[in-house]
Structure 1
Amino acid sequence: MGSILRLALKGNYNRLFCTVVDNSRNIPHVPVMVNEVVKFLKLKPNEVVIDMTFGSGGHSRRILQEQPDVTVIAVDRDPLAYSFAQELAQEFPSRVVPLLGKFSDLPKLLQDNGYNRNSIDSILFDYGCSSMQFDLPHRGFSVSKNGPLDMRMDGTRDPAIPTAAEVLSNAPEEDLYKIIKYYGEEKQARKIARAIIESRYLFKKLTTTEELADLVETIVENKGDKKKHVATKTFQALRIFVNNELNEINYGLLLARHYLKIGGRLVTITFHSLEDTIVKRHLMGNVIENAANPLPLKFNSHNFNLDIQDVSKIMENNWKMLHKHVIVPSFDEVEDNNRSRSAKLRAAVKVK
């Protein structure tokens, strides 16, 4: 309880966040490992490529510029990203198909636009948050920018998805502990969960990113990377939980195999071990052991169903790796774009 009292004495719980002006149109976004992405996609004329995580469109733009006859299906669950995709479609007429939805929405989205199974040439996944989400305080993703604890990639589009603040206000301590431990890989998850509960009942519910960051900072000592805030793992955990990211990644990779042609290429970029583990297991044909969600998600109501009649087909290894070792950013890229430092790229071709 001492940590909560110290935090209250600091006056952190009396702070108010400022109204944020949406300057997203001016936010620079640097796509990660774009040269490597183009290399492994090996684009050919008249191909159809799905950019499953469009974001600000950096990868898609490079793909369109690299091969003049390629069509890009631009998918994103974020309405702001969708608006960027619509703008890109005006810039490249008849070559961009903007689609708004999650990975799990893909079957309906593709069906509505005339694309069937085994009809796609390449699929790109660039997991995690985009720069525009981190850089806009009112989205609630950033540990360093004060704003409401939201973290919904869909924005306000789906009222069934809880905000991070709602999770912190309603989840029992044991569930908070598991969320932070498993999704944030945070060693001090137990102490953080206890502090959140103490705050909820003794002072006030956490509603802003600054309040949560300050709370974690009072109880977690930074023994590792001094450049990384001690609350980074807690923020990651909440973001993954709120957006059901691991289940979406798992399901999205099943869909990739479903829609790619034989010989179609898959390129993934991951930013932490939870994402990368799911990708590796899919590429090795070890899908059943993909514990995409080790927690009972009582605050998240997503359920996925894929029309696969024979479960053994899921276990078949349909992929051939296009490289021997995982691809990481060059030293120069990390120097120019610090957010690329933890990225890992994997590429494979569908062989059956």
Structure 2
Amino acid sequence: MMALGDREAASAAGGPERHVPVLLSEVLEWLDPKPGEVIVDGTFGAGGYTRAILAKGARVVGIDRDPDAISAGRALEEDSDGALMLVSGQFSDLESHARSSGFDAVDGVVLDLGVSSMQLDEAERGFSFLRDGPLDMRMEQAGPSAADVVNELPVRDLIRIIGLLGEEKRATSVAHAIDAARKEKQFDRTLQLADLIEKVLGRSPKKAQIHPATRTFQALRIYVNGELHQAAEALGAAERILRPGGRLVLVSFHSLEDRIVKRFFQDRTRTRGGGSRHMPEEEVPPATFELLTRKAVEAKAEETAGNPRSRSAKLRAGRRTDAPARVMDVHAAGVPRLAEYQGLGG
């Protein structure tokens, strides 16, 4: 995650910003939905972006891997008079979801990466280190949980996960403490793990507002849900399904996600290769995107004052050219090389 402050702590623990779509006006500005267009909202969540897009007269394919989000969105789907099609699935598969909904090309794709505030707010979902609940963190409510990871993975893997995905400098200390504790009692509650991490790391007087478990919980959540692989694969899927002139808008909340998005746009908008007087310029495929945002767009002061989650948000956007889509290399895009994100022992 970025330099962690109250913004990340609020985002990781959930807070008063429940159901508030982040950077909504900026998303609408760069997505620019028009009547009759088809937009893929790959992270439907509570439907904040989708409602605003529908209000512009566009149709929406709304995707979410969380069955609770799909169930909650059915009323909006019924009231949309056919303009909203909800799909239960992963946003990395947004191309196939759009095609199965009857669209071989779409006019826009929007993704709000990371975990939603409504998931964080539910203690029983196990995402929060400030609310006691089962150590779960599964967005799809299926497959291996955070408890499975913490209790079963070798120490060396825990060190890599916590160090790379949580950017925790003391990952080795945390992993060995987890290993020692799980030999006495298996982990099954969020506060059980959070309290252990706090004992290991302590609290810095300079960062008193940051819970010591923030980075480890982030790492576990990303690993359990394969979030970085999902994000990178979704970029490739968006490139394939967007028609020429279509817009891709992404909102990220920590440096690992933003790095992948930034690297993707740098690669896909590049028109010249490197070279020198000693080496010929490398051949570069035609650019598949035109960059719309020269630098990341951040929330204005009015929004951050009322919505702490928006303080760490970064928006980047691009417009699809008519160049052929390229093969997506998730590791070249910045996804760390770890064991498989989905499934233990991969």
Q: What TM-score, normalized by structure 1, do the two folds share?
A: 0.80
Q: Which residue of 2 aligns with 1:110?
A: 98
| Aligned-pair CA distance for 1:89 | 0.7
Q: Which residue of 2 aligns with 1:212?
A: 193
- Counterpart among 124, 132, 140 of residue 146 in structure 1: 132
**What's the CA shift string for 1:277-334, capped at 9, x where partnerless?**
11011101179xxxxxxxxxxxxxxxxxxxxxxxx99965311111222100111111
Structure 1's unaligned 5+ residue stretches are 1-25, 288-311
Amino acid in the other structure paired with 1:115: F
In the alignment, the residues of structure 2 paired with residue 349 and residue 106 of structure 1 have an alpha-carbon distance, to the nearest angstrom, of: 17
Q: Secondary structure at the match of 2:165?
A: helix
Q: Which residue of 2 aligns with 1:282?
A: 264
Q: Which residue of 1 aligns with 2:231?
A: 249
Instruction: Let me know the Cα RMSD of the aligned residues.
Output: 2.0
**What's the CA shift string for 1:71-112, capped at 9, x where partnerless?**
011000000111123221112121100000012333442332
Q: Which residue of 1 aligns with 2:27?
A: 37
Aligned length: 294
Q: Are 1:57 and 2:47 counterparts? A: yes
Q: Secondary structure at the match of 1:341?
A: helix
**What's the CA shift string for 1:220-239, capped at 9, x where partnerless?**
13335322211011000000
Q: Is the 8 A contact 1:57 1:84 kept in 2?
A: no
Return closer, same or farther for 1:123/1:235 CA change in 2, 3 Å cut-off: same
Return closer, same or farther for 1:208/1:316 CA change in 2, 3 Å cut-off: farther
Q: Is the 8 A contact 1:77 1:153 kept in 2?
A: yes
Structure 2's unaligned 5+ residue stretches are 1-15, 270-281, 323-346
- Counterpart among 212, 215, 218 of residue 233 in structure 1: 215
Q: What TM-score, normalized by structure 2, do the two folds share?
A: 0.81
Q: Is the 8 A contact 2:17 2:307 kept in 1?
A: no
Q: Are 1:181 and 2:157 counterparts? A: no
Q: Is the 8 A contact 1:285 1:315 kept in 2?
A: no
Q: Which residue of 1 aligns with 2:150?
A: 168
Q: Which residue of 1 aligns with 2:116?
A: 130
Q: Is the 8 A contact 2:297 2:314 kept in 1?
A: yes
Q: Secondary structure at the match of 1:285?
A: helix
User: Among the aligned pairs, what percent are the same residue?
Assistant: 41
- Counterpart among 82, 85, 89 of residue 97 in structure 1: 85
Correspondence list, 1:76-95, <5 A: 76-95=64-83
Return closer, same or farther for 1:33/1:313 CA change in 2, 3 Å cut-off: farther
In the alignment, the residues of structure 1 paired with residue 172 and residue 285 of structure 2 have an alpha-carbon distance, to the nearest angstrom, of: 36
| Aligned-pair CA distance for 1:155 | 1.1
